Every structure is written in C-alpha cells, then in structure tokens.
Amino acid sequence: MPLSFSDALLQLPSFVADNTASLDLAYDWVSEMTELKIADDKGLWHQFWVAYHDAAWWQDDNWHTVA
C-alpha cells in the first residue's frame, strides 16, 4: 500500500539525511513511495520542493519557481 503524500513528506528529511539525497533521488523516492507523479501537479511539486529544500540544507538549488 502506498504512503500518503503527507506521510512521505514527513519521512523525507530522514531519507534525505540518511542518503545525502539529491533532488532527483528524493523525487524518485517520494514518487515510488506514493505512486504519484508529483511533477504533473504544481501544488504537489511545490510542497515537495519546500520539504526537500528544508531537508537538504547543503543544496544550492535556488532556481525553482512556481508560477
């Protein structure tokens, strides 16, 4: 049974820290755990981006914008 999106985002900081996960790896993990294509939904993508950015403090990925 897939995780809910909110549960995956709650677990994302641990996954990112344990794996020093890149944005791509974190995206693949959330997509696999939830069985959602979050890139197809601006709202989901934004929530994922914020959660990833907060978890991966060492990344410098300031190019993200949601229009």
For the segment 16-53, what is each residue's pLDDT rounded down to a tens digit? 999 999 999 999 999 999 999 999 999 999 999 999 99
Domain ranges of the chain: 5-55
Q: ∠ at Cα 6 (56, 33), nearest 5°? A: 80
Q: How far is CA 63 from CA 24, 35, 40, 55, 59, in A?
A: 15, 26, 18, 17, 11
Q: What is the model's pLDDT at position 57?
A: 77
Residue 45's Cβ-count burial label (10 Å; 0-12, 13-18, 19+) is middle
Which residue has better confidence, 67 or 46?
46
| pTM: predicted TM-score of the whole model, two decimal places | 0.82
Q: What is the model's pLDDT at position 67?
A: 55
Nearest residue to 26 via CA among 11, 42, 7: 11
Q: What is the model's pLDDT at position 29?
A: 97
